[in-house]
Amino acid sequence: MTLMRRVLTVLGAWTAVALLFSVQMRFQGDHPRSWGWIVGWQLAGWWSWAAFTPLVTAFSARAARLGSPIQIVAAHLPAALATAVLCAAAEGVVKWALGIYRTTPLSLGAGVSYAVATYWTFNVLIYAMVVGLYHAVRAARLEGQLMQARLDALTGQLQPHFLFNTLHTISAFVLEDPKQANRMITRLSELLRHSFSREHGPLVTLEEELQLLDHYVAIQEARFGDRLKVTFRVDAGTGAATVPTFLLQPLVENAIRHGAALQGGSAEVEIVAVRVGDRLRLEVRDNGPGIPAGAGRNGGVGIANTRARLAQLYGTGGSHSFELVNAPGGKGGVVATVEIPYVDHAYRHS
């Protein structure tokens, strides 16, 4: 946040508080004063706090480094008293300068003394509120940074894993079919350009995710030839939905690895995207032998990271789901199903 934006945010927040107190003051008592006098009276007080807020937050940042809660509280006590008195004195100066004291005009000294005696205890409470809000915002910011760091770490594990597997595939064609290897390298470079881009953050549109997946599928189709068939069934209108970046690639990779192609047969993989109420359902199906009874199928790094990234982005309260089960009907194969909240990219950024 730029300095000017911070100044405007602080000033706007205290102005809103002043206007709320102005409304309360206007309608209390039997002989309300004019709106102009009331607003001027309230702004003189709350804008004084707007001037002191940056000093309080800066001191709070330094005090937070002390570590011990007792030391932090001990540092804030004298600061709270000093700030309460100085802010009240500043309010008294402003109100004296504007000539808006309730009684007969006071001298500057009398105006300051009146303001300090009247408002210093209230200002101690305001100081505590400002410090509390600072720490709440700081905690939320740190939590967001921690979440992003975890997501970056998980994605950092996933992308090298994918890259090594793909380079191994390409290496098999370097001597056997150089032209095919060159086409695969071109596809890989396009995929990496999209996957390593930082401009989209942890979420992209489904359309962008499918474009990235298309490069990966082309590499695998070049590897397996006619032994691999990948089809897409995407409902119209779902392309604008936001999804975690690199969500589908590890699911498709897992389907190919465990599909019929592993047995030397023909592997069929189907990618499905449908909207179900307020959720987006993504499915990756294969025609492999399925999960043996009593056995698990975690899928290695890709699937484990997918689970972890979904938990980081959507929490663990049931807002999303991820299942890896045998296809129903005993037809063989496995279905990986992800359900996440349906959020339209255009609406999210409006």
pLDDT at 349: 47
Look-up of token digits 């504007």: 98
| Identity of the residue numbered 116 | V
At 201, give phi and psi (nearest 5°): 75, -160
196 neighbors 236 (Cβ within 8 angstroms): no
Look-up of token digits 């809000």: 133
Instruction: Quote the Cα angle for 336-276-253, to 5°.
Output: 20
Q: Tell me which CATH homologous superfamily contains domain 178-348.
A: Histidine kinase-like ATPase, C-terminal domain (3.30.565.10)
pLDDT at 84: 93
pLDDT at 89: 92
The percent of residues in the chain predicted with pLDDT above 70, rounded, is 82
State pLDDT tens for residues 140-173: 776 665 565 555 555 555 556 667 777 877 887 8
Question: CA–CA separation, 285 vs 229, rounded Å?
Answer: 12
State pLDDT tens for residues 48-107: 999 999 999 989 888 887 878 888 888 999 999 999 999 999 998 988 888 887 655 678
Domain ranges of the chain: 3-141, 178-348
301 neighbors 249 (Cβ within 8 angstroms): no
